[in-house]
Amino acid sequence: MAASPDILRIAVAQLDPTVGDVAGNLALAREARAEAVRAKADLVMFSELFIGGYPPEDLILKTAFVEACMKAVDELAADTADGGPGIVIGSPHRDKSGLHNSVALLDEGEIKAWRHKVDLPNYGEFDEKRVFRAGEMPGPVDFRGVRLGLPVCEDIWGDLGVCETLAESGAEMLLVANGSPYYRDKMDVRYQIVVRQVIESGLPILYVNQIGGQDELVFDGGSFAINADHQLAMQMSQFEKSLAVADWRRGEGGWYCVRDVMARLPETEEADWRACVTGLRDYVDKNGFVDVVLGLSGGIDSAICAAMAVDALGEARVRCVMMPYTYTAESSLEDAEACAAALGVSYEVVPIFEPVEGFMSALSSLFEGTNSGVTEENLQSRTRGTILMAISNKFGSMVVTTGNKSEMSVGYATLYGDMNGGFNPIKDLYKMQVYKLAAWRNENLPPDCLGPNGVVIPQNIIDKAPSAELRPDQTDQDSLPPYPALDEILECLVEHDMAVDDIVKRGHERDLVERIEHMLYIAEYKRRQSAPGVKITRKNFGRDRRYPITNRFRDR
């Protein structure tokens, strides 16, 4: 179908490609184009590296993978010979100059143009300079009489002037393919970036983002358009796969998007919750697990992970196991059972007294003459971890691990014990954020969540003092400062890389800050061996914060 020179109908495909599933991603693209045909669209726009999935990391170095992606683009281009919508789609592309992160314009049965990403990000979770070659400054492409600028993601985030160059060379609008992962309040940052580029280029921008979980990263969609007058003209939902069609018209001041699609965006707590749920769901489903199992202790961390698992997968795919020992309080047994009942999940009790005592007996001669302490406490945790892994091995269930960011920061966790597992939905949530989200979920059921409405985490679990219950009358504060203070200090150290002196000026005791800094550094070896988990903050462990294990620096 031929576009009117003054009207362009663009379908935005906000979808969930899977890294490496080239055939599956091609099928998704074809389904979206068929929907765009029914909507009488002129053009359908996909996200960054859509055909191979994003981010491909070092998979992109495999020649066969790149060739499969380029072949799929050729096949998709052939589809456009039917006279239907043209396509803008992200794909790796190899040419004489090297391997590029690119977008292709497809129309009339052929690839009309390739445009390569100029500004390759090399910070945080991004390290594209390792694998891609930067493109030259691009010019616009012609699509049925409209000159389109096709910058790719970081091209609008950086300061290389890609958008200004496109405007100066005759682009009439900018269509941007993005692979922009979620972190808290990310939408506000995107708006600021796009508005700045609209102001500098004088052109309207359509920002297309992907959806879904990929290992630690969650892509939240939220695709939108901002007109040349700096006003939001189109807003798609977050955390929901969809295809939206928007009409663009040419007026006296140039092209503008007709204000029509305006989805509601979630507030902070809902966004964080849905990111955790999306990340867990896609990790389980994309890696082929039928269900999950986790230890339900009666504490807040395991309870919120159970609730997230049910919201992600449904109650039939979640198995909870309580593993009591001598120090497990009766109230914990009651709370765990009440939580399982509220969620409607399978719940079993597997006492660990006999296996723990068996380990104690086997080690008795080696430990003779020593005092009981952390070693014996860790045996309880490792016994629980062994039982969960045995269930996983026997039934194929993925173990959900339940440590929060506060614990991961200071090493308040047991290797090969409570750290056992395949994925951790709360790995990037500090303890006080866990409490806040638990209270929020008891009052809200987010869209696309499969769990029940109402209270899913018993109030007693939220109210009681947190405890690992590895010795009599134990609480976390026997070993750690109060969580509000701990979390604030950790946020200063981890998220903001603040100096000890500056943290002390915020009202914290120097000895405490130095102690927490030391605990943070010496726990690096544990974090290197921890399960992946959803990125929620600007700086998570693993992809964003990469510290050496051997490290004698202390800020004194």
CA distances (Å), 370 to each of 27, 362, 374, 375, in order? 64, 15, 12, 11
Please report where in the chains the tokens 């096709």 appear, as a residue.
150
Query: CA angle at residue 210 from 317 to 146, to 5 degrees?
Result: 155
3-class secondary structure, 139: coil
- CA 531/CA 541 separation, integer angstroms: 11
CB 508 within 8 A of CB 514: no
Beta strand residue intervals within 179-226, DSSP E: 205-209, 211-214, 217-220, 224-226
Is residue 464 annotated as part of the catalytic site, yes or no?
Answer: no
Residue in 69, 128, 153, 257 annotated catalytic? 153
Tokens of 269: 């707590």
Burial class (CB in 10 A: 0-12, 13-18, 19+), 210: buried
- CA 256/CA 35 separation, integer angstroms: 23
- CA 1/CA 437 separation, integer angstroms: 49
Is residue 330 annotated as part of the catalytic site, yes or no?
Answer: no
3-class secondary structure, 95: strand
Residue in 31, 35, 40, 48 annotated catalytic? 48
Omega cis (within 30) before 55: yes
- Please compute Rg for the chain using Cα positions: 26
Is residue 376 annotated as part of the catalytic site, yes or no?
Answer: no
Torsion angle, alpha carbons of 490, 496, 500, 503, to 10? -70
Residues 6+ apart with CB under 8 A from 497: none
Assign 3-state DSSP to the chain and report helix, strand, coil percentages, each to 5: 40, 20, 40
Could you say which DSSP state residue 344 is in?
T
Residue in 35, 62, 112, 117 annotated catalytic? 117
Tell me the catalytic residues: 48, 117, 153
